[in-house]
Structure 1
């Protein structure tokens, strides 16, 4: 990746990346220690872990839909971003006071509520700030900085535990980087939303592919895309349009319609109507594939629980998870930027197949403890290839005025599926063993990859 390309990214992209770095430093001080805390201190089993993670992540995703819709409706994303980081920063140190797993559940709900408030508006701020041909690079850079924090956090946790700091005291130290993240988020300037790119492609370059397959928004006579009608967002009634935006008036998530109201005519705000049908057909099919994949994507804490059972020492679990974040950090910018040229769906499909392979190895082989390190490194490559790319694809498929809502639906669908995914995974593990749980998840990933390639983008 050329340094000049990174330096050309807007200041907003870099600032949001730094905020995520600090926030993830705090978050990852806690995250890899939760299985240790639940199993070793609170004597909870895999079913409790499944309930905690499933409920917390599903709740977070509902809030991401609501915050995405509100950021579009209120024409401002920043307040939701700042509030989300502040709530999470306040909740994490309180893990030190937990005496039973329901208290951990309550704190995870508060933490995930913070994530739910900030994620969709923040992603839409990134999409609005980055030029179309650098969108994959922008999301990749953000993921890289996010995961740099996810490397620093586990390293700090390992150093503290090795130096004799008690587990509860480690949780208290999360207050410092969390507070710094909130202060920096308050300084980010919100950028105007850019207009949709006229080519409607999935990435740019020679390998670009049409955004819509033939027959869906495609002009049969001249073989080129017809302009998309962006006036029908999931929050507007049929026939209602937002006024047209020009210049500095184009605030985030607002005025993305093709039509406008005459001057002096009052535009009435539409009621809340979170409807599925007005979303672009290709986006709806993509969400169905995401839903199937996420049904087999339980909380990553189960992977750490499996590593603990395989012989990884408690103090080394943060290092193992930190290595995943390091691999993600090193490769996410390059791989997400590659999607701008090769096409998003190809990279996502490859990542989902790699994820299925990792789960199959974890579930059906008895690797020694040292063998888990390269396997978790491969898991980091899966993150690097898919997380930024999936979000860039959402931005491609949604119009400029729909991005907050589109990201909200994306997070809602994926997060709601995490509820049955984590609970079912925990139950399968407890009832039939780890091989049944990991085998089910690997099968879902394989089917989702096939669906994405053979149905969602069958003509792309």
Structure 2
């Protein structure tokens, strides 16, 4: 991939014979297994929801965009609470476990809701709240369990396992609906059982504290009053710039559900095939997550993150292209580029920001970053839905292209070129870099 030839090589890679960084920590593999199982449960339900809400319940794109953005925004705000609780004595594993349990219980809410819109909305909100609570403590556990110089690879492995679940979930839902003649209750029951299995795996196999052995070197944490620790990261200039860039680019990111709805509309896909659309993007993400993480460890995490948003720009441009010839000429590039986008941005952003944060405030700092990005995406979803409803999908896409081009320029200027932790020191005698604000 061309990512490997770009960027400056400020520090040498670890010696090939040392074996440093070649093993992914057991805690990361355990968390990846939990995420895999949980994503099977989650994607069994979410794969069919956009189609059900828009075509089944008759919601307009504006209403769907508002609801999708609202739920994601609520989950983003809850992330702050999850990160704060994890850093203030509740424990990363315990808080993450609560989030996984809430998501599993939301499947029972969907089962009891029937066709009531309010009940479905409450169940979806519970699922998003659970996801919001668990995300920052889980990612903090990954950063605290891995050496700084291999964070990209650790997140790549975790995201690859997570995406395997996202790949299997829609297939399981498709098979269940086919076998039960479209009995959604069966999907909800099986989803709950699989989600419960994920909680049990977390309890049994994910260590509660730091792994044994030497801890990764980290900057001394600045002590702050307990009530302010959740926002202590904002005092770091490098972190503020990462946060600003992530929020700016998030504000130009159209939700996946809109991309799939546009594909279904452009290709006139049968309704029954809609749940399978995310599989193409998930498969590409699965293949590229680990290589993208390793490349980010070698060349720095700034450029892969920006190039990933260039891939998203390619998604929008492809959707704007005239629909002519076989549908695969539109379907394959869109899903492949969407997978590239997630492989080079999701875990890479966490690996970029993690080493900047002190160990005892890492969950809170990552929660602030994830919340800022998610709130920006909430505004993007609502804005795109409004533009689609008022002006049509083409105008909405042109607006998204323009916004993303502007955001890329801003992200290029904002992201620190050599923030602390972007390239971890290599070699046994290297010391942790001092804070840099360039």
CA pair 130-431 structure 1, distance change in 2 beyond 3 A:
same
Equivalent residue runs for 1:33-432 within 5 Å? 33-74=48-89, 76-96=91-111, 97-163=113-179, 164-187=181-204, 188-192=206-210, 197=217, 230-232=221-223, 236-237=224-225, 270-272=226-228, 274-275=230-231, 278-310=234-266, 311-366=268-323, 369-370=327-328, 371-432=330-391
Q: TM-score, normalised by structure 2?
A: 0.84
In 1, Cα distance between equivalents of 2:231 and 2:43: 36
| Matches of 2:322 and 2:249, distance apart in 1 | 22
Are positions 1:8 and 2:26 aligned together? no
| Most deviating of 56-65 and 362-371 | 362-371
RMSD of aligned Cα (Å) = 2.3
Whether contact under 8 Å (1:57, 1:419) holds in the other structure is yes
Q: Distance in 1 between matches of 2:142 and 2:417?
A: 29
- Give the distance between the partners of 2:285 and 2:74, measured in 1 at CA: 26
How much does 1:155 deviate? 1.2
Task: Return the alpha-carbon distance in structure 2 between the equivalents of residues 10 and 425 of structure 1.
Answer: 41
Moved more, 301-310 or 357-366: 357-366
Please state how far the C-alpha of 1:158 moved relative to its aligned partner: 2.1
Structure 1 residue 299: Cα displacement: 2.5
Deviations 1:93-139 (A, max 9, x none): 43343424443322221101001110000000011111122211111
Match of 1:250 in 2: none
| Counterparts of 1:443 and 1:18, CA distance in 2 | 39
**Superposed CA offset, 1:57-112 (max 9, x none):** 11101111111122112161111111100100110243343424443322221101
After superposition, what is the alpha-carbon deviation per residue over 1:409-456, rounded to whole angstroms, capped at 9, x for unaligned?
011101222222211111111111112222222333222222222333
Given that 1:58 and 1:419 are in contact with CA atoms closer than 8 Å, whether structure 2 keeps it comes out as yes
CA distance in 2, matches of 1:458, 1:384: 21
Q: Tell me the distance in 2 between the aligned counterparts of 1:277 and 1:174.
A: 37
Separation in structure 2 between the aligned mates of residue 103 and residue 303 of structure 1, nearest angstrom: 26
CA distance in 2, matches of 1:87, 1:13: 22
1 CA distance for matches of 2:163 and 2:249?
22
Q: For the structure 1 residues 9 and 277, does the alpha-carbon distance in structure 2 shift closer, same or farther, using more than 3 Å as the test?
A: closer
Q: With the length of structure 1 as denominator, give the TM-score of the two structures.
A: 0.80
| Equivalent pair of 2:301/2:348 in contact (CA under 8 Å) | yes
Q: As a proportion of its length, which structure holds more helix?
A: 2
**Which consecutive unaligned segments of at least 5 residues does structure 1 have?**
199-227, 238-269
Whole-angstrom distance in 2 between the partners of 1:123 and 1:176 = 24
Tell me: CA distance 1:75–1:169, structure 2 relative to 1, closer, same or farther (3 Å).
closer
> Per-residue CA shift, 1:31-60, capped at 9, x if unaligned?
120122112321212122112111111110
Q: 1:439 to 1:5 in 2, by over 3 A?
A: farther
Q: CA deviation at 1:364?
A: 4.9
8 Å CA contact 2:87–2:364 kept in 1: the answer is yes
Which residue of the partner structure matches residue 449 of structure 1? 408
Aligned residues: 394
Q: Distance in 1 between matches of 2:73 and 2:321?
A: 29
Q: Which runs of 5+ in 2 are unaligned?
A: 1-15, 419-437
Closer, same or farther in 2 for the Cα pair 1:53/1:447, shift >3 Å? same
Tell which deviates more after alignment, 435-444 or 281-290.
435-444
Q: Distance in 1 between matches of 2:221 and 2:229?
A: 16
